[in-house]
Amino acid sequence: MLLGARITNLWRLRRPLLGMSQTQRSWIKLHFSCLSEVKVSHSLDDECDDFLPWLQRKAGVEISSVLSIGKSAYGRTLFASDIIQAGDCILSVPYNVQLSPDYLHPDINTLLNSEISYVAKLAIVVLVEQRLGQDSDWAPYISCLPQLDEMHNTIFWSEDELEMIHQSSVYKETINQKSLIEKEFLAVRPAFERFPEVFERITYKDFMHAYALVSSRAWGSTKGESLIPFADFLNHDGTSEAVVMSDEDKQLSEVIADRDYSPGEQVLIRYGKFSNATLLLDFGFTLPDNIHDQVHIQLNIPHHDPLREMKLEVLQRHHRPIGKDIHGINSSVGSFTIKIGFLTLMIALLHREVKSASGKGKGIPQSLRAFARVLCCTSSQELRDLAVEAEQTDGRLARRSLKNINREIEAHRFLISQISQLIEDYHTSIESLGPLSSPFVSGKLALRRKMALDLLNGELRVLRSSYAWLENYCATWTTTDYHQ
């Protein structure tokens, strides 16, 4: 499931052809199949010629009549083999040909405790089928899954490569993800040892590969996580409205086209409204100018703050989660996520002023602004006033503008200073990676470097947009009698 990018269609058919007869459409399909060999940067995937016929025989029903497996610059993908209209069901995969933990052998399953995740159990199923090779009932599918060296999830990056994204929260999330997978591996290893004829020489890296295949390709249903052959060849477009849907009554998964497609055009779906951080960590790719980008930031209550304990107590009492340190003790760190909407992103990209607090746009999370208001309190009375106000409203702390306008501006100026420092840090990280095109970087490193730049630049755009929003908010207080 590599990055899906829209291929420029120089010969787009559109609606005039939709009223043609089947004979005319077949001729057009043949004609444009020939053109595609010359004009479009994709080709048929010879390695998977027999895949769809095999899957349809296994299912006993037709899976798709309008899609074919091909290769593009982004890897294996699905292309329209016929005219597709918005609203068409383009594929339908019955549950009985989806790979799920139900296929785990009972003797192995009984050795796994209840804390083992669905992802880990399905990863074991994949490992078993991989070991069976051509003797596996799922061999045509398993052989089409990405090899280890084709995957770019950050858990597979070297320490030097991870340093490229040290500024991003993805760095720590990658470390946490690897720890989680290692914990799962240690939990399932006793089962491996009981069946050496099946799991001989299975390493942590093998398990991590299978785990990543499942976590990046599986879809959830009432049965838990399942790998859906053929459907998981569809690539991602963050703006698409098409998704994999489950129909429990019909016991199948299906995809409905969200727009028209011409023969030879790559068909795309949306895996979710994912930021580049999620895409890189879980799927191994990024999107330039991702409309769902976001950035995680942390604020600390300084240890030298004389009101530190009172602030912590007030924040906890009014539902502001407080992080824990490595010893499990409450810390003074507040974690927040700033997201960027499409409108805000376009404004940032065009270097225009972000909408003021009274205009449209995402703005800054209320929880972050509330945290800043609490941080800037300089007396116990101010904190008590905020607590009383929360109790008299919806229980949430400091969600309204402070009555003291100077203190309200001070709280937001504090956020500006924090975000300004982050912007500077991101600039430094990006500059350290050098220009995108470099004769000294090639192959896998060049690809991962580009992904790192997409990630950092996307998060930098969010920070810039947030900075502009905060500046406008403070300017509003200083020039008008505006109140939220």
pLDDT tens track for 95-128: 999 999 999 999 999 999 888 999 999 999 999 9
What are the residues facing 99 on neighbouring strands?
Answer: 227
**Which value, to the nearest 10 degrees, does the dihedral of the CA atoms of residues 50, 54, 55, 61 take?**
120
pLDDT at 139: 95
Token representation of residue 286 = 């990024």
pLDDT tens track for 29-47: 333 333 333 333 456 666 7
**Crossing angle, helix 405-432 and helix 366-375, to 10 degrees?**
110
Q: Is the full-model pTM beyond 0.85?
A: no
CA atoms within 13 A on the CB side of 326: 1
Instruction: For the chain, 484 residues long, give each residue's pLDDT as a single digit of tens.
Output: 443 332 223 223 233 333 444 444 443 333 333 333 333 345 666 677 789 999 999 999 999 999 999 987 667 899 999 999 999 999 999 999 999 999 999 999 999 988 899 999 999 999 999 999 999 999 999 999 999 999 999 999 999 999 999 999 999 999 999 999 999 999 999 999 999 988 988 999 999 999 999 999 999 877 678 999 999 999 999 999 999 999 999 999 999 999 999 999 999 999 999 999 999 999 999 999 899 999 999 888 999 999 999 999 999 888 655 444 333 434 445 788 888 654 344 444 443 333 333 434 456 888 899 999 999 999 999 999 999 999 998 888 888 899 899 999 999 999 999 999 999 999 999 999 987 766 666 688 999 999 999 999 999 999 999 999 999 999 988 775 544 4
Yes or no: say if 101 and 121 are a contact pair by the CB < 8 Å rule.
Answer: yes
pLDDT tens track for 275-328: 999 999 999 999 998 999 999 998 889 999 999 999 999 998 886 554 443 334
